[in-house]
Amino acid sequence: MAKLSKAKEYAILYLNDIMETSEQTIAEELNISVSTVNEVLSNRAVEEPVVDKKKSKGKVTKAHDMMIRHTAGKKDNGVSIMTKEANEYQQELMKKLNSQKKENKAIFRMR
């Protein structure tokens, strides 16, 4: 593989991933061979998201955790404001709980 500058490597990755340009067109545009373009594309590192298992293990997300509980004006925790994410989470949780609920069709009488 020919020695390429970082700018050309980034250009190859950008043109391939974002602009969806073919290898032949990239090679013509950057004045390099098609084999060099293919080597750069095959040698790139595939990044995987890093998950900290210690922090996420056993932690349950609640809608309460997604609320704004500290107001800037009063500088206290007297008011809670539900965010959009907390509302969506709560609605999904309620749908799940309602679908799992078994209805008892028996008639109950008070004694």
Look at the alpha carbons of 72, 77, 79, 85 in this order and tell me if their dihedral is positive or negative: positive
- Predicted confidence at residue 104, as pLDDT, reads 63
User: Does 13 fall in a domain?
Assistant: yes
User: Does 71 fall in a domain?
Assistant: yes
pTM of the model: 0.42
User: Does 1 fall in a domain?
Assistant: no
pLDDT band at 81 (very low <50, low <70, confident <90, very high): confident
User: Does 108 fall in a domain?
Assistant: no
User: Does 93 fall in a domain?
Assistant: yes
Structural domain that includes position 35: 6-43
User: Does 105 fall in a domain?
Assistant: no
